[in-house]
Amino acid sequence: MRMRNKYRKPTTFRCNAGSRCSTSAVVWSLVGCFFMFQLYTLVRQKDRLGGEIQFRVSNHPQFHELEQVEEENIQIPPPRKRSPRAAKRKPRRPTTLIDEFLDENSQIRHVFFPQKLAIDPMKDTANDSYYFYPGRIWLDTDGNPIQAHGGGILFDEKSRTYYWYGEYKDGPTYHAHKRGVARVDIIGVGCYSSNDLWKWKNEGLVLAAEKANETHDLHKSNVLERPKVIYNDHTGKYVMWMHIDDVNYTKASVGVAISDYPTGPFDYLYSKRPHEFDSRDMTIFKDDDGVAYLIYSSDDNSELHIGPLTEDYLDVTNTVRRILVGQHREAPALFKHEGTYYMITSGCTGWAPNEALGHAAESVMGPWEFMGNPCAGGNKVSRLTTFFAQSTSVLPVPGFTGSFIFMADRWNPADLRDSRYVWLPLIVGGPADRPLDYNFGFPLWSRVSIYWHRKWKLPQGWSGWKRI
């Protein structure tokens, strides 16, 4: 459940001029206030819930099944047999599940990157229909693996169709130089359309790389990451924002492109450093009132910045706030539920997975508060690595308030085109598991939970299914 955050500001004690406050009086007053507050909160909870203190788990019984915590035990294989001489030279350190994940020759590679099994909407009829299998290869309606990494989904009201945009990475992975990170040349932004979020039709490259002009931002030797598209109700244009960089990530800019149609082609307009700050991982968020925001990792990824876009969504305004200062978060994904803003971020460890964190705010411009790790189920290591993936976007499920799809990328740095999608149910409800300091141990926000499931599907009655 959610409580309005009225008691944010710590009360300051002032004494009347002339009178002297003894320290013990202040302490006892504080203690008194503390108990009064506890009592008040309790009574309020009772009022709301008809005398029973409990936290609502979910708005929808259909989602109950998805809120079951599903454990997954992944066995680390026994160490390979090595010759006694080799063992003597270099004693083997104990391998962790993360080591196994990062080792492309791991014996349990298939657990993280299954090769044979794929989600194939053209073949998986009857029993397997509409099931998401996080981590499996996902084929489009032509039978090719979907190429929409670091992506996001736009629901187009006009055509009542979902469009999934992301990095098209179907090229060789290589290192530009000795200390360079694994990369694929820019190919462009892929776009896929769907009515049910499961069967995706390839709409082609909606923004393609520049092959000849070496000084162009989109020249294949550069970097284009995390493209996101929103629709502008005033101008009737589809606007794409993306991270634009050079091979060494020193340009640290955002790029903007525009189209009359969700399926492009998008015209690339320009790139810039927003508010004159460096900008790497980023996303955009369109609020209910039509105001859109750019959120980006800045100051060498040590903090995030957030600021509104201009009315046409083609630029940033002069307003910007620094949030999560010194926290080193990236891969932001924003969403809103019952007037509260939520965000999932990852840590900064390159292609390697790390722990997700949830954040909440009353105002999108902040202050943003920590909510802890939202991941539930799986196993300890997978919870600490966002199920071996990194956030990219959070999509509301229409007709199910409080229910979302958490979209993440399971990067495969050995072959980036083979990176997988990890989609899981994200549910807002129940008490936050990390109470904030200023509210005396009572959670002010609802908990955000991302539930691990080996396979799952959206519940019957989801509005997308009615059209099938």
Ligand X SMILES: *[C@@H]1O[C@H](CO)[C@@H](O)[C@H](O)[C@H]1NC(C)=O
Is the CB of 189 or the CB of 427 nearer to ligand X?
189
Given 12, 22, 215, 460, the residue binding ligand X (CB under 6 A): 215
Measured from the CB of residue 265, what is the shortest distance to ligand X in angstroms? 16
**If binding is defined by CB under 6 A, does position 460 make contact with ligand X?**
no
User: Is 248 a binder of ligand X (CB under 6 A)?
Assistant: yes
Assigned token pair, 440: 């005396």
454 part of the interface to ligand X, by CB under 6 A = no
Min. distance of Cβ 185 from ligand X in angstroms?
A: 13
Which strands form 188-194's sheet, in the order they lie side by side? 149-156, 161-168, 188-194, 201-208
List Cβ neighbours of 175 (8 Å cut-off, separation of 6 or more). 181, 182, 183
Candidate ranges 158-166, 208-216, 286-294, 310-318; the one touching ligand X (CB under 6 A): 208-216
Comparing C-alpha atoms, which of 336, 391, 382, 344 is closest to residue 362? 336
The alpha helices in 330-385, defined as continuous H runs, are 380-383
For the chain, what is the total number of helices (H) and then of strands (E)? 5, 25
The reply to whether 246 sits near ligand X by the rule CB under 6 A is yes
Is residue 422 within 8 A of residue 387, CB to CB? The reply is: yes
Tell me how far, at minimum, the Cβ of 261 lies from ligand X, in Å: 23
Binding letters toward ligand X, positions 121-160, x by CB under 6 A: -----xx---------------------------------
Please provide the DSSP assignment of 129-184 as one string. TT-B-TTSEEB-TTSSBP--EEEEEEEETTTTEEEEEEEE--S--EESSTTPPEE-
Under the binding rule (CB under 6 A), the answer on residue 177 touching ligand X is yes
CB of 181 to ligand X, least distance (A): 11
Q: How many residues sit close enough to ligand X to count as binding (CB under 6 A)?
A: 9
Shorter beta-carbon distance to ligand X: residue 245 or 409: 245
Q: Which of 216, 275, 322, 434 binds ligand X (CB under 6 A)?
A: 216
Q: Binding segment for ligand X among 88-96, 244-252, 357-365, 452-460 (CB under 6 A)?
A: 244-252
Using the minimum distance from each CB to ligand X, give the nearer residue, 86 or 122: 122
Per-residue contact flags (x/-) with ligand X for residues 367 to 406, judged by CB under 6 A:
----------------------------------------
- CA pseudo-torsion sign 263, 267, 272, 278: positive
| Smallest gap from residue 216 Cβ to ligand X (A) | 4
Task: Give the position of tokens 């997978």.
Answer: 382
Q: 213, 289, 380, 460: which one contacts ligand X (CB under 6 A)?
A: 213
Give yes or no for a cis peptide into 274 (omega within 30° of 0).
no
What separation, in Å, do the N-terminal and C-terminal C-alpha atoms of the chain show? Answer: 34
Q: What six digits make up the tokens of 277?
A: 């700050």
Q: Give the H or E element holding residue 30.
A: helix 23-48
Could you say which DSSP state residue 378 is in?
Answer: B
Contact at 8 Å (CB) between 305 and 284? no
**Which 1-30 residues touch ligand X, going by CB under 6 A?**
none
Task: Report the distance separating Cα 388 and Cα 169, nearest Å.
Answer: 19
Q: Using CB under 6 A, which of 182, 247, 269, 291 touches ligand X? A: 247
Q: Which span (213-221, 236-244, 253-261, 378-386) binds ligand X, by CB under 6 A?
A: 213-221
Residues that bind ligand X (CB under 6 A): 126-127, 177, 213, 215-216, 246-248
